[in-house]
Structure 1
């Protein structure tokens, strides 16, 4: 059974993420955990209050959050409910990143799905600060779903990679399973001016090909240019329904997170963005 964690702040984009998750795993047994982390609401409003006042407000806030979660669940389960799906709610007194990471470890979560702001948002990037923190630090694949993305099966998936990372079999299997059931084409894109791969790159490329055995995998190379622009061009050219990248220390993705490149992707990527991790779990 697939285990999926969906953080929510009860916004429109968070609700959209829940709906997308249900469609993505419509024909698969899945347990959806819907989580709200509310510690910052308590300490933000009562940072100068006494301990007794904080404890009182914390309990009031927990009850308020739990009621919102229950009401949310009533609205998303569906009529009739999907018999393959189960739902659980979590009201967590912690900050969002720590709460997600702890629950990922505790429940051995397969995938975190988050909603992101639409292109009409006043913010400078679709990827808010919390989303980027979860991309960086949560030891689990994270799928960011744009608020204005209408669900469609990801028949074409773009996977930019330099073949330098030792991919994690569990996370490639997740990608392979999702792509396989939709008979998707996965386009592995290497952005380089060099034709030959090193032995390390060859080994990783072979592992990628062998592990992604269910979908159709294509290996492509393009010359070096602005990497974000190259990714955006290929997303459009392939009519991709999903973008996939790997986060690891000293990787291209990590470099993006610390530079403005992610802002360009955040503004322009209009499809779900799956970030797989290469961190120890």
Structure 2
């Protein structure tokens, strides 16, 4: 059974991500945990409040959050409900990233699925600040869904990689499960001016082939130029339904994030974007 965490700020984008998750796992057993972290809603406005006032605010906010979560889940269960799906609500008095990381560890979550932006995000950017923080710091694959993306099976998945970093078998298993289920073509794209791989790159490429054995793997290279532009061009050429990248120290993705290039980075992607984490769990 897949364990899926859906953070929500009760925005339209977060609702859309929950609906996408239901479609993505429509034909398999899944438990959806719908989480709202309300710590900043208490302390953000009441930093100077007395301790007694804060405790009262915490309790009031918890009750409001539980009610809103229940209402949200009831609105998406469907008639008749999918018998393969279970829903649980989670209200946490904490900041968003810490609450997600703690819950990922507690429940052994397979994937976090969320909107690309929240209610207060700048509409001129692809990713909101909270989404970028979750990309960076959450120790679990994160799949971000653009608000205007209409669900379709990801028959083509673009996976830019330089084969330099070791992959985690569990992370790749999620990608392999999705690709196998939808009979997707996975395009491993290496942006380079060199013709040959090093022994380490060859080993990592072989590990990809073994772990994604149920996928239709394609290995391609393209000359170095603006990497964001290359990715956007390949998404269009392959008619990709999902972009997958690896986040680790010294990775291309980390380089983009810390230079403010995921949006900021110029990647104006309009398809689901999954970030796999090369971090121990």
CA distance, structure 1, for counterparts of residue 163 and residue 124 of structure 2: 31
Q: What's the counterpart of residue 35 of structure 1? A: 35
Give SS of 1:45's match: coil
| Cα distance in 2 between the residues matched to 1:153 and 1:142 | 18
> Secondary structure of 1:159's match?
strand
Judge conservation of contact 1:124–1:267 (CA < 8 Å) in 2: no
Contact 1:127 1:266 in 2 (8 A): no
Q: What are the ranges of 5 or more consecutive residues in structure 1 without an aligned counterpart?
A: none
Shift of 1:260: 3.5
Runs of 4 or more above 2 Å deviation: 121-124, 264-267
Counterpart in the other structure of 2:218: 218
Aligned with 2:73: secondary structure?
A: helix
In the other structure, the counterpart of 2:64 is 64
Asked if the contact 2:228/2:267 (under 8 Å) is kept, the reply is: no
2:117 and 2:66 map into 1 onto residues whose CA distance is 24
Q: Counterparts of 1:36 and 1:163 in 2: how far apart (Å)? A: 36
CA distance in 1, matches of 2:261, 2:213: 32
**Change beyond 3 A, Cα 1:40–1:264:** closer
1:42 and 1:58 in contact (8 A); partners too: yes
Instruction: Please tell me whether the aligned partners of residues 125 and 267 of structure 1 are also in contact (alpha carbons under 8 angstroms).
Output: no
Cα separation, 2, equivalents of 1:277 and 1:247: 5
Using the size of structure 1 for normalisation, the TM-score is 0.97
**Could you say which residue in structure 2 is the equivalent of 1:236?**
236
**Between Structure 1 and Structure 2, how many residues are aligned?**
279
Compared with structure 1, are the counterparts of its residues 181 and 265 closer, same or farther at alpha carbon in structure 2 (3 Å cutoff)? farther
Residue 51 in 1 paired to residue 51 in 2? yes
- Aligned pair 1:76/2:76, yes or no? yes
Give the drift of 1:161. Answer: 0.1
**1:21 aligns to what?**
21
Map of 1:54-203 to 2, 5 A cutoff?
Answer: 54-117=54-117, 122-203=122-203
Report the CA distance between 1:92 and its aligned residue.
Answer: 0.3
**Whole-angstrom CA distance in 2 between matches of 1:152 and 1:258:** 31
Cα distance in 2 for partners of 1:108, 1:224 equals 38
CA deviation vs aligned residue, 1:195-238 (integer Å, no higher than 9, x gap): 00000000000000110011100000000000000000000000
In structure 1, how many angstroms separate the alpha carbons of the residues matched to 2:274 and 2:267? 16
Does the CA-based 8 Å contact 2:242-2:273 persist in structure 1? yes
Cα offset, 1:265, TM superposition? 5.7
Deviation at 1:163, TM superposition (A): 0.1
Return the offset for 1:125: 1.8
Q: Tell me if structure 2 keeps the 8 A contact 1:163–1:205.
A: yes
- Displacement after TM superposition at 1:262 (Å): 1.1
Q: Is this contact kept in 1: 2:191–2:223, CA < 8 A?
A: yes
> Residue by residue, what CA displacement relative to the aligned partner does 1:7-37 show, whole Å, maximum 9, x if unpaired?
0000000000000000000001000000000
Cα distance, 1:267 vs structure 2? 5.5
Q: TM-score, normalised by structure 2?
A: 0.97
Q: Distance in 2 between matches of 1:175 and 1:265?
A: 24
Partners in 2 of 1:210 and 1:57 — Cα distance?
53
CA contact under 8 A between 2:32 and 2:86: conserved in structure 1? Answer: yes
Deviations 1:42-80 (A, max 9, x none): 001211010000000110000000000010011011110
